[in-house]
Amino acid sequence: MNNVSVITMFFLSGFTETVNYRFILFFLSLLCYCIICLVNISLIVTIILDSNLHEPMYILLCAFCMNGLYGTTGLYPKFLWDLLSDVHVISYYGCLIQIQMVYSFACGELSILALMAYDRYMAICQPLKYHSIMSKQRVIRLVCFSWLTTFCIMAINTFLTSRLMLCSPYISRLFCVNWSIVQLACFPEQTAINGIVANITIIIYFLHGAFIFWSYMYIIKTCVNSIENRAKFTQTCVPHLVSLFTFVVTILLDVTNMRLGSKELPQTLQNIVSIEFLVIPPIMNPLMYGFKLTKIRKRICVILKTKVDFDKEDKIPRQNDGVEDFWRAVQTTKTQSSLDPLSQALDTQVAQDSQALAGPITNLCANYGLNRLQRPGDRDLQVKQ
């Protein structure tokens, strides 16, 4: 009982193997986090700003990337700080918040994958009903509902953990894990309800996985006899399946190591297994979807091309100054000659000289990427060779 009152923070003993390489690990982790933020935010902004991408599949992809940012934010800032710190500690309530964020991210990822599987099932197997069932408003409501239920389920698990009496402040991980804290309980009898709720949570999300498997069985069955559906499956479903496979494998490795893993395993290997589901999927998913889905790839290419065109346009006015001065001088000369009847001959001579110089100047402008010469106030005049 006395130990409970003094445990206000936890010691993360998983960092003991990183001391000799902490600067290298810090640089690599910072680079990884920057890439995660860059690719996910780029995809989110692209989908939000382009009205042509306001479709169910892309809305779900946007939610997928948002969830990835949410989960990695629960880990990387504290992880980067601990890599440079000599003492690896986290406050009691900070630990509970990290548990809530990391595990609601993991469960939310599986929920969104289930929604994406249902979307592909409706698009390929029930195309006539697709637009009436998978409307934008309904998809947004489904995403919000999946996030809310996931957050509540994990909040229940976190609350049950917070009521335990703990006898040790040492966690042999790089970050806070719910099951690791449950194992620190002074009285195993108190953890019975934690185990029951944890198993119910596992069953719920196992059913999510079963639903995804069932959906793709029907999709594959439908695509076998249709060339058009096979093309649609290859373009939209393959990235989803790769994301699903990667996420499930990384989560299963972490859960297996946490529940059944041997303490004789090297700490470095345990660290790699425990953190990979927060490294590989958040980087790979947006990159894979960005390159594989045609609309997103084209939109990104348009954005990059527009930026290049703006850079070229910034250079053109500086090169056009001499041309505008030439036409301004011609216009001034014509105005003066029209006011003086005795200057009719000079006006004719200037016109002939202008016509003679037009060809060489046009060739000069062509070398600088200009297609036409413009007089001030007359943009429709085109000089021809």
3-state secondary structure the chain: CHHHHHCCEEEEHHHHHCHHHHHHHHHHHHHHHHHHHHHHHHHHHHHHHCHHHCCHHHHHHHHHHHHHHHHHHCCHHHHHHHHHCCCCEEEHHHHHHHHHHHHHHHHHHHHHHHHHHHHHHHHHHCHHHHHHHCCHHHHHHHHHHHHHHHHHHHHHHHHHHHCCCECCCEECCCCCCHHHHHCCECCHHHHHHHHHHHHHHHHHHHHHHHHHHHHHHHHHHHHCCCHHHHHHHHHHHHHHHHHHHHHHHHHHHHHHHHHHCCCCCCHHHHHHHHHHHHCHHHHHHHHHHHHHCHHHHHHHHHHHHHHHHHHHHHHHHHHHHHHHHHHHHHHHHHHHHHHCHHHHHHHHHHHHHHHHHHHHHHHHHHHCCCCCCCECCECCCCCCC
Distance, in Å, from the CA atom of 178 to the CA atom of 106, rounded to the nearest integer, reads: 13
Distance, in Å, from the CA atom of 123 to the CA atom of 226, rounded to the nearest integer, reads: 14
Q: Is the dihedral of CA 135, 141, 145, 146 positive or negative?
A: positive
Q: 173 with 92: CB under 8 angstroms?
A: no
User: pTM for this structure?
Assistant: 0.73
The pairing of strands 170-171 and 89-91 is unpaired
Residue 360: what pLDDT? Answer: 59
Residue 351: what pLDDT? Answer: 61
User: For residue 173, how many other CB atoms are within 10 A of its CB?
Assistant: 20
Q: Is the dihedral of CA 278, 279, 280, 286 positive or negative?
A: positive
| pLDDT tens track, the chain, 385 positions | 444 445 788 888 888 777 788 889 899 999 999 999 999 998 999 899 888 888 898 899 999 999 999 999 999 999 999 888 888 889 999 999 999 999 999 999 999 999 998 998 888 888 888 888 888 999 999 999 999 999 999 999 999 998 888 888 888 888 888 888 888 888 878 888 988 998 899 899 989 988 988 888 888 888 777 777 677 777 767 777 888 888 888 888 877 777 666 566 677 777 887 888 888 888 888 888 777 777 787 777 777 777 555 555 555 554 444 545 555 655 555 555 444 544 555 556 656 665 665 565 566 555 555 444 444 444 444 444 3
HSE on the CB side for 111, CA within 13 Å? 24
**Shortest CA distance to 326 belongs to which of 303, 299, 360?**
360
Q: Is 369 exposed, middle or buried (0-12, 13-18, 19+ CB in 10 A)?
A: exposed
Using CA atoms, how far residue 345 sits from 109, 144, 342, 348, 354, in Å, is 83, 81, 8, 5, 14
Using CA atoms, how far residue 223 sits from 10, 114, 126, 242, in Å, is 53, 19, 12, 18
Residue 331: what pLDDT? Answer: 59
Query: In this structure, what token pair is assigned to residue 130?
Result: 């697709």
The pairing of strands 9-12 and 89-91 is antiparallel
Residue 144: what pLDDT? Answer: 94
